[in-house]
Structure formats: structure tokens, C-alpha cells
Structure 1
Amino acid sequence: MWKQQLIHTDRGTFELFTKGHGEPLCITHLYSQFNETGDYFADSFTSLHKVILINLKDAGNSVTASQEDELSMEETIQDLEAIREALRISSWHFAGHSTGGMLGLLYAINYPQSLQSLVVVGAAASDYSKMKDCIYHPEHPQFAYMQQLIEDLKLPHLTKKERTTLSTERTKLSLYKPEQYETYFSKAIYKTMAASRMNYFAKEFRSFDVSEQLANVTTKTLILCGQHDVQCPIASSLQIHKGIRDSSFIPFEHSNHYPFLEEEEKFSSVITAFYHSLKEGSEHL
């Protein structure tokens, strides 16, 4: 189990969970609600770092936003900075999957001095839904089904069983081998969606575009993506790699949106090599 903490900052009180030992590494997601059971992505880093898993505003027991725009990405990275300062951490590592990776890019652009490294997994620097091989593009064959599942998951009075069934179906759409779902997601990890954050992101991501600012990123960056990612297609990761000087990019040939589960051993090996290279001052993995 992860250890819960409530951290008081000048931007409100935030709930976070910690696990592991080593240099501090921040992980969050724009609309996930975490709890003591943790998170599959975050678990991948606990053998290498002290992972700090953060519930953002309107998520879990963190402060409620008083205005809707407090849920924006720009406001969120300011919240992360306030949390870092309250924890008295001079700089930390950041790893983000999907919208967490998008947030990581914005963080590295705006607060380079706060990040020792950045790992971006299955993310994008601009509106990925414009790509026809993205499941959020209206012409994608699974578009309507995905949209229905997302809307159903926002319903407030779902039973735990109903929520689990819907979430499972949604996740299977983003697996290279959906029949392996039970194998990948076998731990007792339960997280939910913060509906207000999801709704805000659904409006905000259309105008999200940091592609021109990637050249300003000086943080050591590792970009990973499944070859078959239907949420943030691999072309998005290639755009990030092209934009960030000296970044490293590694594709996962047998993965969709969850390479840290679909190719767990390779993922662990890759991130271990990356962090070791930082300590050794190496330019290459």
C-alpha cells in the first residue's frame, strides 16, 4: 500500500501518496483519482525512486477548485510547483503517462530548474485527436464506442461492479492484446476518474499545442510509446522527440497505450538504463 499524506501549500491542501526509496519522482495524471492502492504506471518506478503520486485539485481528498480554470494545465503545473516547495524538494524527476506526459512537457517548458529528468510515455505535444489513427478521431472505427464508455464512466451513482466493467472495456480498446487484460491488470489497484477534471480537459486539449516550445526544453528527456497506440499515436511521440534536442526515443513494438504493462520487462530495463545514465552523466542509454 502507498502512504497517504496531506500537504498544505499556498494554493490549497493536496493529497499525495508515496512509495519507494531514492531521489524524489513526481507522477500525476490530469483526471485520475488515486488512493492507497497506487497506480500501475507509478509502480514501475518505485524500485528506482521515492515516487510521489499526486491527486490534483478536484481529485480525491485534494482541495476543490473554486473556479473552473483552476483545472487547466497551466494552473496545474503551478500547483505542482507549490507542492514541491511545500515538500522542500529542490528539484525532482517527473514521469507522465498519457495526459500526465502532456503535463510533464508543459512543466519542463515552464520550470526547467525544477526537473532533473522527464519521462514521457504515450503522450503528445498537440491535439492528437486530429490524427485519423487516433481513437478520439470521429473517423476511427471505435470512436463512438469509446465516447459512450467515457460518458458512462462519468455517471455519479455507478456501483463498483458497473464502474469496473466499463473501465475494463475502455482499457481493452487501448491494448495490443486485449485478451491479456486480466494478466496485465492483476493487482488490487483501484482508481477512478475526476469528472470535473475530465470535462475541463475535453475542452482544453483542442487548443493544447506546445510543439513550438519543445526546443526550449533542457531537461534530460526519455520518450516511450507503443507502436500501436490508439490514444496518442506514435507519430505524436516522434514529434516530441524531434522537438526536444538530445532526447531519447524508444518504441515498443508489441504495445498499444500501456507499454509499462504490455512489455513490462523491456519497460523496466529501459527506464533503469535511463536513470543510470543520468547518474553517470552519460549522453546515451
Structure 2
Amino acid sequence: MGHYIEVEPNVNVYVEDVGEGTPIIFIHGWPVSHKMFEYQQTELPKHGYRFIGIDLRGYGKSDAPWSGYDYDTMAADIHAVVTKLELTDAALAGFSMGGPIAIRYLSKYKENPISKLILLGAAAPIFTQRDEYPHGLEKSGVDDIISNLKADRQAMLKDFGGMFFHQEMSDAFNDWFLNLGLTATPHATIHSAEALRDEDGRVDLASVHVPTLILHGKHDEICPFEFTSFMNEGIAESTVVPFENSGHGLVFEEKEKVNHEIVKFLKG
């Protein structure tokens, strides 16, 4: 079932809540929605898990205020949802931009019900290059993305989808995936790109004190596989599982392996 939760006055986020058992909260990436986890939503409840997919503010069915697309505010939104649902002993899974937001949530809210963390193609600890962090896009590359969003958002998102996958995807799938991105509010798409460009989550990693599974495509052109070495080094109890046949879209390209690794990790 789906329902709305008020995360701040007059701002509601949409939550898809399916199945019973141990809760797994899924945080999507830029610029899509919880619907990107279709193949987890259809599979994990069979194994006794409760799928909870949050549409971040500005995305999917959630409200889209003008501001609040920084990681701190997004983490506060997750906190509001988790508190309202009164979850216990839950797992938290973050894909791409959802990864550093999930980590920021654990860093900011020490009293939380999260017992395990899953990072999928995470844009963590930083999406853009910095001193002593030579991986990812240059900030100017994100500036170009933002300019293209303002000039022709539809074409930019189609090109972005083309970078997403290592495997050849069907035309029908590509149309569906593009539509997920087009459903997002334009200003949220731009403001979140600014957050991806500017946020630095390196100090957050040491705040993760739960077992962490890092799943990442070896051919990722958006969040390079090199990111995993920083996450693995910074998160004390973490394990990296490489996906040899995936780009950024590992939840689609090797969905059976993703689900297998998640279930194995949660049952372990």
C-alpha cells in the first residue's frame, strides 16, 4: 500500500509499503523515484521482508517544495518517515545519490532503528573530484549537466540514461526509465544536481557502525568503482561485492544477483 507522511509543515513524501517482516527502506537515486526498485519490490517480500520505498521530496509522487534538496534535509525527511512508521531492526538501502543521503541520516541521527546498511552504486563519499579525491566528475561537469537541464531537460535525461547501463537494454525499458526521470520536478532535479556537486560526505563514513554491504558495478561511468575503496576504508564493518557485468544500473542489469546478495546479507 502507499501512503503520505508529513516530513515538515505542508511537505509530504510518498511511501510505498509492501509485504511483512523485517523492513528494508529503499532510497532511490537522481532523478528517479522508488519505482526504480521494481525488481526488489516484487522479490524481497517473498523472503519475509517488508519493502519500504520512499520517494524523496521533489521526486515521484512526493511534494516538491522549492528548497530542501541538500543531504541534511533529505536525511531529516528519512528520519521523519522512519519515526512515523515506528520501525525497529530495519535495513536501509541507498542507491547512487540515495547512498550518501542514507549515510548522512546515520551520521545525524544516532538513535535510529537501522541494523544494516546496503549501498548500491553509491555516490559516496563524494560525487565530484576534490583535493585527495581524484575520482568522479569534475565540478564543471556537473555545471554542464545543470546547464543542459535548463536548456533541454528531456534530452539531457535521455543522454544520462545512455550512460547508466553497461548492458544493452530494451527500447521499452529505456522509455520507461526515461519517464521515471521526467516525472521528477524540474527544480528538484536541478537543486539535487547542485547537492551532488557540492556535498562532501567523507566525515560521515566513520559514523556508520552497522554491518554494511557495498554493491557496485565494475563498469559504472557515473559513480566509478573506485568510490568503493573509500567507502570500504571509511566504514568499519563493510564488504564490497563487485558486479562484473553492470554499469551504474546494477539493480536492473544483474537484478537476480542484487537480490541474492541482499537476502544473503540480511539473513547472515
Q: Return the TM-score normalized by structure 2.
A: 0.80
Larger Rg: 1
Distance 1:5 1:260 in 2: 24
Aligned residues: 256
Query: Which consecutive residues of structure 2, in runs of 5 or more, have no partner in the other structure?
Result: none
1:260 aligns with 2:256: no
Distance 1:255 1:117 in 2: 24
Cα distance change, pair 274–207 in 1 and its aligned pair in 2 (3 A): same
Q: CA deviation at 1:129?
A: 2.9
Cα distance change, pair 151–20 in 1 and its aligned pair in 2 (3 A): farther
- Equivalent position of 1:117 in the other structure: 116
1:181 aligns with 2:179: no
- Equivalent position of 1:55 in the other structure: 55
Cα distance change, pair 59–145 in 1 and its aligned pair in 2 (3 A): closer
1:87 aligns with 2:85: yes
- Cα deviation 1:15-52 (Å, max 9, x = unaligned): 22222332222122365454xxx623353255332222
SS of match in other structure, 1:116: strand
Q: CA deviation at 1:257?
A: 0.4
Distance 1:73 1:212 in 2: 13
- What code does the residue aligned with 1:80 have? I
Cα distance change, pair 145–265 in 1 and its aligned pair in 2 (3 A): farther
SS of match in other structure, 1:129: coil
Distance 2:262 2:227 in 1: 20
- Equivalent position of 1:15 in the other structure: 14
Cα distance change, pair 42–240 in 1 and its aligned pair in 2 (3 A): farther
Distance 2:187 2:145 in 1: 18
1:203 aligns with 2:191: no
- Equivalent position of 1:282 in the other structure: none
Q: CA deviation at 1:117?
A: 1.3
Asked whether the 8 Å contact 2:121–2:248 carries over to 1, the reply is: yes
Segment of structure 1 superposing worse, 103-112 or 240-249: 103-112
- What code does the residue aligned with 2:102 have? G
RMSD: 3.1
- Equivalent position of 1:193 in the other structure: 184
Match of 1:245 among 218, 227, 236: 236
Cα distance change, pair 230–151 in 1 and its aligned pair in 2 (3 A): farther
Asked whether the 8 Å contact 2:219–2:245 carries over to 1, the reply is: yes
Query: Which consecutive residues of structure 1, in runs of 5 or more, have no partner in the other structure?
Result: 155-162, 278-285
- What code does the residue aligned with 1:207 have? D
Cα distance change, pair 132–248 in 1 and its aligned pair in 2 (3 A): closer
Asked whether the 8 Å contact 1:27–1:42 carries over to 2, the reply is: no
- Equivalent position of 2:96 in the other structure: 98
- Cα deviation 1:52-98 (Å, max 9, x = unaligned): 22223233443442x62x22110111111111222222453211110
Asked whether the 8 Å contact 2:28–2:36 carries over to 1, the reply is: no
SS of match in other structure, 2:227: helix
Asked whether the 8 Å contact 1:26–1:52 carries over to 2, the reply is: yes
Distance 2:101 2:203 in 1: 16
Q: Return the TM-score normalized by structure 1.
A: 0.76
Cα distance change, pair 33–228 in 1 and its aligned pair in 2 (3 A): closer
Asked whether the 8 Å contact 2:211–2:237 carries over to 1, the reply is: yes
- What code does the residue aligned with 2:39 have? D
- Where do residues 40-51 of structure 1 align in structure 2 (5 Å cutoff)? 40-44=36-40, 46-48=42-44, 49-51=49-51
Distance 1:45 1:240 in 2: 26
Distance 1:75 1:17 in 2: 20
Q: CA deviation at 1:245?
A: 0.7
- Equivalent position of 1:230 in the other structure: 221
Distance 2:171 2:184 in 1: 22
- Equivalent position of 2:260 in the other structure: 269
